[in-house]
Structure 1
Amino acid sequence: MQAEVRMVRSSLDWDSRLRIAIGAARGIAHIHAQIGGKLIHGNIKASNIFLNSQGYGCISDIGLATLMNPISPSAMRIAGYRAPEVIDNRKATHASDVYNFGVLLFELLTGKSPANTRSEEVVNLVRWVNSVVREEWTAEVFDVELLRYPNIEEEMVEMLQIGLACAARIPDHRPKMRDVVRKVEEIPRVNTGNGPSN
């Protein structure tokens, strides 16, 4: 039985978060490689990531959202995930899927939702992470629950850099998903194995 990913900070250690990122990246890259590169997910978000028996993230909801839900595609997207260039799901691209994956990485690193509401103010996670990094307060980005694990700071920074590249404002500046998979798998602590990802 697969479990939906929820940002329950106390139950997700660093290795678990890495496995979620690796599996989800592999799944998105697999989707992008199908039908001659013409397939796009268009709705990558935490509630569409499930865990397999090995704890790797698995992508769900490919193509079903628009078929099963009478709500307009743009209304289905959760605030904070939409790439800046996407007006609605019909305009989704590989680059917008990569952006969504960057937001997912930020969630895994910060333990925060993509659009936090604090005192009637919506805080966009991508903008917040970028502003903190720009001010060189990078340590402030990371979930305090992660700070209790020794010797992972370098790996968290590596994942943060991947997330920043994925969530670049200009679509052409974002990496291809196959390159993202390689970079996430290079983060050293996790034995990536060949766990299923799709």
Structure 2
Amino acid sequence: MTMEVLGKIKHDNVVPLRAFYFSKDEKLLVSDYMSAGSLSALLHGSRGSGRTPLDWDNRMKIALSAARGIAHLHVSGKVVHGNIKSSNILLRPDNDASVSDFGLNPLFGTSTPPNRVAGYRAPEVVETRKVTFKSDVYSFGVLLLELLTGKAPNQASLGEEGIDLPRWVQSVVREEWTAEVFDVELMRYHNIEEEMVQLLQIAMACVSTVPDQRPAMQEVVRMIEDMNRAETDDGLRQSSDDPSKGSDGHTPPGGSRTPPSVTPTP
């Protein structure tokens, strides 16, 4: 894989590589400036009072646009991204997402210490250091879990020391406390429980331990598009700009905090 090949990849949801510089002491990549920053900063930055939460509609938009970008790399570019994480999902002001930092493993390898990246890395990559299309799907599944839970993959508050985000979600779901999985910031929005569970089911399929049990990225795109299509067709859900909670932070009568159950994946 050469830098010229990566530079020829063009898609609305892939950050274009404009130039590169390689020398013995320095390696530089030049790409478009994405003014809204990264998903990591938007999702995890300044949590607490005074923060504007990332609402459900925008989380879904980011999930779908990032999936489309990765699927384009896989299908049209025949490129394994190799480093999918929320800091590499860059955003435009309208929260349309583009993937960056793709296809660099053959050039740079996986020099990052394993304990720093294991939160996104598929189990087989932690062992072999070899990235594949299916390991990208696993990493994207972790990204979906990050959007749903509001937790970083290696966040200390996941409980047991060293537990990763997929195992934490599976343990909570197994105890039938599915509602406890979701980001508290999403609980203010009305009638989105079923969609959250649908996206959680897609994420759980992506993070299957066995690579062959994971869907291909183009299938992941189709599943998320089908969710959006169903939402448009039934016309029942209010926009997530219309919170179901009052200003006192309590769920009003009839507002549910308990989504349908999810079956843990092996």
Structure 2 counterpart SS, 1:115? coil
Contact 1:40 1:93 survives alignment (8 Å)? yes
Kindly state the Cα deviation for residue 135 of structure 1 after the two structures are TM-superposed.
Answer: 1.8
Q: Does 1:92 align with 2:131?
A: yes
- CA distance in 2: counterparts of 1:55 and 1:76, whole angstroms: 30
Where relative contact order (Cα < 8 A, 6+ residues apart) is larger, the structure is 1
Q: 1:115 aligns with which of 141, 151, 154?
A: 154
Question: What secondary structure sits across from 2:76 in the alignment?
Answer: helix
TM-score for both structures, normalised by structure 2: 0.64
Counterpart position of 1:161 = 201
Q: Is the CA contact (8 Å cut-off) linking 1:43 and 1:89 kept in structure 2? A: no
Aligned residue identity for 1:99: Y
Task: Give CA-to-partner distance per residue, 1:97-127, whole Å, 9 cap, x none.
Answer: 0000000000000000101224882331110
Larger Rg: 2
| Paired positions, count | 188
Q: Report which of the two has the higher share of helix.
A: 1
- Residue of 3, 12, 17 corresponding to 2:59: 17
Post-superposition Cα deviations, 1:32-62, rounded to whole Å, max 9, x if no partner, equal 0134x3x100110001001124312210001
Of residues 163, 174, 180, the one that matches 1:134 is 174
Q: Deviations over 1:59-115 (max 9, x none)?
A: 000134664x69725659623111011137851001000000000000000000101
Name the counterpart of 1:29.
Answer: 71
In structure 1, what is the Cα distance between the partners aligned to 2:213 and 2:110?
32
Match of 1:186 in 2: 226
Whole-angstrom CA distance in 1 between matches of 2:207 and 2:177: 19
Q: Which moved more, 1:24-33 or 1:115-124?
A: 115-124
Q: Is 1:105 matched up with 2:139?
A: no
Q: RMSD of aligned C-alpha atoms? A: 2.5
Q: Equivalent residue for 1:49?
A: 89
Q: Scaled by the length of structure 1, what TM-score is found?
A: 0.85
Q: 1:176 aligns with which of 205, 216, 229?
A: 216
Following superposition, the deviation at residue 132 of structure 1 comes to 1.2
In structure 2, what residue type is equivalent to 1:25? Answer: A
Gaps of 5+ in 2: 1-34, 233-266
Identical aligned residues as a percent: 56
Would you say the 8 A contact 1:102–1:162 is kept in 2?
yes
